[in-house]
Amino acid sequence: MKINWNYIKTFLLIGAVFFLFAFAEKRNNSRVLSEVNLNFTNSENLYLTEEAVNKLLIQNEVRVRSVGKEKLDLNRVETLLEAHEMVENAEVFMTVDGKMGASITQRKPLARMMGNVQYYLDRNGEKMPLSEFHSARVPLVTGVTEEHLQEVHPLVNFIGNDEFLTRHVTGLHRLSNGKYEIYLRKLDFVVMLGTVSEIQTKFKNFKAFYQKAMKDKKLDAYQKVDLQFGDQVVCTKK
């Protein structure tokens, strides 16, 4: 009987392919996570450290350095990270070489609310606890209670997104009538902003006044600058 070697070679080739595929899959599934790569998208101010993230995962029994890839629930890890009081968003992923990666966006504080209990107000208008790792350089706000947070948020958000105001504004105070005073770095006059309305126009007028007064070297001549009168800036001299 004549043996057809072509058929035999074909069967052997198919068998070898299936064997290699099964071997590769088993090896990939049994591969142990050897490293966790963390990336903080706003790493200039770390309110949460890499050590704190690893401690969080350990406390929740997420053994990312010793568990097989197929056993790691990435959604659970992502949920744990996003539940942290300093995290705004987290994206967790797995690399082909057995490493877990996490891209973490920290919450961004806009102002520090002063009172019996101090906390930050973040860019989403929500309360944010102080961090043991970093103190944010943001304006200090007094006279504001929790019921006023939605009122003051547009104001501190505007200041936090304006380079000039971020550089100069150090504090805000809410008066009992709902009007705000603003305090500036290295200047001893008070800026009367009034209510949180038409703030874009008010600050535009203030910038024009500031540039003119600085050019004339008269910034130290005033004790109060009032922005409540439309397009006018009313100044009171010392």
Q: What percentage of the chain has pLDDT greater than the value 90? A: 52
Cα separation values, 4 from 16, 167, 217, Å: 19, 85, 102
Asked whether the whole model's pTM tops 0.95, one would answer: no
Q: Is the confidence at residue 70, as pLDDT, over 90?
A: no
Distance separating alpha carbons of residues 212 and 224, to the nearest angstrom:
16
Which of 1-15, 127-141, 159-173, 217-231 comes out lowest in average pLDDT?
1-15
Q: Which of 85, 84, 104, 105 is nearest to 93 (CA)?
A: 104
pLDDT mean across residues, the chain:
82
- pLDDT value for 22: 43
Using 50, 70 and 90 to split pLDDT, how confident is the model at 9?
Answer: low
- pLDDT value for 37: 77
Using 50, 70 and 90 to split pLDDT, how confident is the model at 62?
Answer: low
Distance separating alpha carbons of residues 205 and 201, to the nearest angstrom:
6
Q: Residue type for 30, please? A: S
CB 180 within 8 A of CB 196: yes
- pLDDT value for 101: 80
Q: Residue type for 51, please? A: E
CB 169 within 8 A of CB 182: yes
Tokens of 148: 């006023």
Burial zone of 6 (CB within 10 Å; 0-12 exposed, 13-18 middle, 19+ buried): exposed
- pLDDT value for 14: 53
Q: Which fold has domain 35-106?
A: Ubiquitin-like (UB roll) (3.10.20)
Cα 65 to chain centroid distance, Å, stands at 27
Tokens of 89: 């968003």
Residue spans of the domains in the chain: they are 35-106, 109-237
- pLDDT value for 223: 93
Q: Is the confidence at residue 63, as pLDDT, over 90?
A: no
Question: H helices of the chain, where?
Answer: 5-30, 50-59, 74-82, 149-160, 163-168, 199-215
Which stretch, 93-97, 132-136, 139-143, 228-232, has highest mean pLDDT?
139-143
Distance separating alpha carbons of residues 153 and 180, to the nearest angstrom:
13
Tokens of 224: 């109060």
Cα separation values, 183 from 171, 180, 195, Å: 5, 10, 15
- pLDDT value for 66: 43
Task: State the CATH architecture for 109-237.
Answer: 3-Layer(aba) Sandwich (3.40)
- pLDDT value for 133: 87
Q: Is the confidence at residue 102, as pLDDT, over 80?
A: yes
